[in-house]
Structures are given as structure tokens and as C-alpha cells.
Amino acid sequence: MKVQRVEMFVCPSATPADTSGLQALADAGKVKPDTLVALVGKTEGTGAHDDWGRVWADVALREWTARLLGVPVDEVAKHVIFVLSGGCPGVITPHIAAVTREWIDAPERKADDKRLVVGRSGSDAIAPEEVGRMGMIHKVADATRAAMKDAGLTDPKDVHLVMVKVPGLTVASIKAAESRGKTVVSHDLTFGPEGAGVYANDGAALGVALALGEVKEPALSDEVVRRNWDLYSEVAMTSSGGEKRHGEVVVFGNSTASASPLRIGHAVTRDFIDAAGVRHALRVAGLRFQDGLPDEADLDRLVHVFAKSVIPGSDQIRGRRITLLDDGHAYEIGKALGGMLVASVTGRTTNYVSGGERNSHQGPPGGNIVAAVVRHE
């Protein structure tokens, strides 16, 4: 039978426009025009809505991909999904992870030996007035279902990570919406508690939750976004940018219809200092442990870690007061703390850590999502 064989290659970036690592993979035949599925990564910059480092990286990567595929730049999105999260404070190394997929003839695996599969999809165009509202939720849900179908996944329990990049709001897009008599969810273009960026991220997360059955349709409305924290997805990892017009979705899961050497697993941490939660994600993905810690001799099998680092909405962590909410740089600090937490467990800095938001529908109240990819060959 035809099954997927998925690979993931992590390339550190010297600048936002650095595509040399990807080119080396292409020259070595590891990334091919007919196998490249997605480029996922962290880009240096502010991480804000006007993060030109992320925009610069997006432009450079699309131009490189267009050359690789031999298609015009404006057709790249039909073939390859881009999920770029801006801002690398602390010990997060800017990097791009190239995800490839090929179809090969191989027998189906046993039910207890599922391996990595990937699916991709793009949403319909998301208008500014839909950002952070039901319009975005429904369009991301539809794209998530399509990406699951592309991955060959039917059981939501086999889905361990859904990465989404959606449009944010800008001054120009707000003006465009209001010129048509429409309203927008926020005029605050930051990632603060009422910022348009977090509304976009959380609308996308609820779209994933709807698609996977984590949240039922009757529970959703414009009013619950960034209000009802009991509604969330355990596997959504979302970000937004003003350069986007459509949502882009990549679904990662495990399946018996896979000849991949990789397996993905995820866990939900109780808060953003929960090292045990990070270790649990590694264990679920198949990394061996010794004396309660990842076996140092086994860490070479760890391919990549994806994590959220969301700031709690209260002024306490585990019953102790913190002053993070009083800090004007809380967004950057929250992301930096997540990067240091994951790096302290994995011993590496090329981890995808998105976050800095205050509260999120990406995980339960106070919790964060961590997903790990481990090699099993």
C-alpha cells in the first residue's frame, strides 16, 4: 500500500533571509520540489504585528521555494505551507524546519507502532472583520479538517500538533474594513490582553478545537474569544501576521499508514515553568529516560520541539506572586522564559517556542502545549 514517509530537517538561520541551510538540503537531495510540504520556523525580530524580520524571512523563503519548485512566487502557497513565528528572545535560535513527505509502497504498521504523517491546507481568505471572530474560527476549522484528510488522519486522538498561521490586523486592513462599514475585533495592534494579535491567535486555536471536536459548535460565538478559558485546544499552536491574507495549516499526527522514521508526541504543561511537562512530551514521543531525565545518550534522536509559552492571567504561579504582568516587556519575557525552559530540558536552543500572550485558547487555563518529534530508526 502507499504510505507516507515524512522527514524533518532543522536549519539554523544566520539572518532572516538566510536560505543557505535549505539550499544545502536541496543540493544533497534531501529536499526536493515534489516532497517539500512546509517550512516552519522562528525568525528574529520583535514578534509584533509589524515585525519586518518575519516579513523579510517570508519573502526570502518564498523566493527560494519558487526557484526550487520552478513556479512563480505567487503560486508557492499552492504547494508549500509557511508557518513563521517572529521573535527569538533569550536562548531561542532563529531557524527553519523543512518538512518533507513522499509516498512509498510499504506495509501498514501495527497499531502500537504508529509513525509521523503530515497534512497541509490553506483556508479561504480571512477578511479583517473576521479576525478573532466566528468567521475566522469556521475557516480555520475547515482548513484543519482538510489538512487532516490530506494527512490520512480520521481519529482526532492521532493528531498531536496543528500549526496555524493566520492574518492579523494592520492599520491598513482596519481602514479597509471600516471603509466597507465593518467593525474589527480590536484597534490595539499589540499582543497585549486586548490586542488584535492575540484575538487572531485565539480565534485560530478555537477553529482547531472545533475541527477536532475539543469544543462543540454551540459553545462558540464571537463573545467567548478571549473570555471563556474553559474552551481550548490541546494541540493548536497558532500565530498571526499582518502579511497574511489566508490561514495556513499543517497537521502532524501518527498513523499506521506511515513508513516514517519519526514519531510525534505531545503533552500539556501546568504552567510555563513546568519542566516535568516538557519531559512528558519527550517521553510520549518515544525518547528514553534515565533516573527521571532524558537519557543524554538518547538525545541525539530528538529532532525538534514545538512549544507555547503563555503568560498566566493572574499575578501568581503555584501560589506565589510574580511581577511579570507589571512589566512592559512581558510579551518578550514570556517567550524568553519558555525558550529557556525547553532548552534546559533538551540541551539545545533550536526549539520552536511561540508565545508571550497573556492567557490563550491554546491549552487549558495556565497551561501550555509542548510537542516533540523523535527519530525511531
Q: What is the DSSP string of 215-227?
A: S-GGG--GGGTTT
| SS3 (DSSP) at 193 | coil
- 132: nearest Cα among 239, 248, 225, 237: 225
Other C-beta atoms lying within 10 Å of the C-beta of residue 146 = 18
∠ CA 229-230-231, nearest 5°, is: 85
Instruction: Give CA torsion, residues 184, 185, 190, 193, to 10 deg.
Output: 170
Mean pLDDT for the stretch of residues 224-238: 97
Task: Indicate which residue of 239, 240, 255, 309 is catalytic.
Answer: 239
- 215: nearest Cα among 234, 232, 195: 232
**Cell triple for 348:** 539545545
**207 or 328, higher pLDDT:** 207
| SS3 (DSSP) at 334 | helix
Q: Of 39-48, 56-65, 317-326, 341-350, which gets the smallest average pLDDT?
A: 317-326
User: Rounded to whole angstroms, how far apart are CA atoms 121 and 100?
Assistant: 15
pLDDT tens-digit map of 36-73 = 999 999 999 887 777 888 889 999 999 999 999 999 99
Please name the residue that has the C-alpha cell 518564498.
62
Read off the pTM.
0.95
- Mean pLDDT of the chain, nearest integer: 93
Q: What residue type is 352 in one-letter code? A: Y
pLDDT tens-digit map of 117-133 = 999 999 999 999 999 99
Q: Is 115 within 8 Å of 259 (Cβ atoms)? A: yes
Is 258 catalytic? The answer is no
pLDDT of residue 131: 98
Q: What is the DSSP string of 30-92?
A: SS-TTTEEEEEEEESS--STT-HHHHHHHHHHHHHHHHHHTS-GGGGGGT-EEEEEE---TTP
91 phi and psi, to 5 degrees?
-110, 30
DSSP assigned state of 301: G
Mean pLDDT for the stretch of residues 226-238: 97
Is 309 catalytic? The answer is no
pLDDT of residue 89: 87
Q: Is 157 within 8 Å of 266 (Cβ atoms)? A: no
